[in-house]
């Protein structure tokens, strides 16, 4: 049986060293993503055979079984990882097509996980919003800039408290404490800002009449790809969401060719919003099932109560 360890802040250097040597493809495989969601999705890892293996609990399992969370990061193949953890896991989730290719024909059940496919955009498309297909976005931004005095600035340690204040106000407007998913996201965002200076993050915010009313936070996923973890704009300000999207791409993501803006979670409105920005491509993901494992078992999110 391979011993696993609960991931915490002390493992950041180890994870980042592996990600640097074996650049990830999926948005889940950054230290920030693995770490800040820990209150709703604890992550375990094992370091063996020049590879890192991440695991999460298989919700609904009465015997503490787990599932691999993404493919191995390193030299071990996915099918070999499943063999190594035989008897301790029910399967694997968030697997890119590149990882599952070698599993075809080996007796595994593979199911496409469309809700967790990553949307990847050209940074220049989001920064420029050129052409007829972005006309509505440009019009929304023009309305915002006409109605409000807006200014962009990078997020520094001094600005973190103001961003946390925005998150508090945003959650109050959306009743986060009654929505398990929003509550889990709130905890993740607070954790991210608490460790902002330690996580090698890229952040940008917009002041409206002097007060922070929007922010976006990303980090490097691989050499030419950034991954945008969170983006918030205070409701009620027309065009502000489109503005932070554009300005963050324009000013915050210089030097990157692509930006991965994560999943739509199968939410119709979120899917439509992500499609409306015309992704360059999707990072398709799959679930590998063993026995009676069901991918939805891992999607349960606890509520706000600690």
**Domain chopping of the chain, boundaries:** 5-116+284-299, 118-283
| CATH, domain range 5-116+284-299 | 3.40.630.30
Predicted TM-score (pTM) of the model is: 0.92
What residues contact 172, with CB distance under 8 A and at least 6 apart? none
Pairing of strands 51-57, 118-122: unpaired
Same fold, 5-116+284-299 and 118-283: yes
The mean predicted confidence, pLDDT, of the chain is 93
**pLDDT per position as a tens digit, 47-72:** 999 999 999 998 666 577 899 999 99
Helix (H, G, I), strand (E, B) or coil at 265: coil
**pLDDT per position as a tens digit, 289-305:** 985 444 433 343 433 43
What pLDDT was estimated at residue 299? 43
Per DSSP, 230 falls in state: E
| CATH, domain range 118-283 | 3.40.630.30
């Amino acid at each position: 049986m391979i011993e696993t360890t609960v991931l915490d802040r002390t493992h950041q250097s180890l994870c980042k060293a592996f990600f640097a040597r074996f650049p990830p493809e999926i948005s889940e495989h950054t230290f920030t993503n693995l770490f800040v969601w820990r209150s709703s999705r604890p992550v375990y890892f094992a370091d063996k055979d020049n590879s890192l293996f991440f695991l999460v609990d298989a919700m609904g399992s009465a015997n503490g079984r787990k599932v691999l969370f993404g493919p191995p990061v390193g030299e071990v193949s996915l099918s070999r990882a499943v063999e190594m953890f035989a008897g301790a896991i029910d399967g694997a989730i968030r697997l890119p097509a590149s990882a599952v290719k070698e599993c075809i024909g080996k007796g595994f059940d593979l199911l496409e996980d469309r809700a967790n496919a990553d949307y990847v955009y050209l940074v220049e498309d989001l920064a420029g919003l050129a052409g007829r297909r972005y006309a509505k976005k440009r019009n929304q931004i023009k309305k915002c800039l006409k109605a409000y005095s807006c200014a962009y600035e990078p997020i520094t340690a001094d600005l973190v408290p103001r961003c946390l204040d925005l998150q508090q106000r945003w959650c109050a407007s959306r009743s986060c404490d009654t929505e398990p998913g929003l509550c889990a996201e709130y905890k993740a965002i607070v954790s991210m800002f608490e460790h902002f200076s330690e996580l090698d993050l890229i952040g940008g915010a917009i002041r409206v009449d002097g007060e922070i009313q929007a922010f976006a936070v990303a980090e490097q996923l691989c050499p030419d790809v950034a991954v945008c973890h969170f983006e918030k704009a205070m409701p009620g300000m027309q065009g502000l969401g489109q503005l932070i999207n554009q300005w963050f791409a324009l000013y915050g993501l210089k030097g990157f060719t692509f930006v991965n803006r994560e999943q739509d979670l199968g939410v119709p409105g979120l899917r439509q919003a992500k499609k409306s920005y015309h992704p360059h491509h999707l990072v398709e993901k799959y679930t590998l099932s063993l026995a009676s494992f069901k991918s939805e078992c891992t999607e349960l999110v606890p509520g706000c109560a600690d």
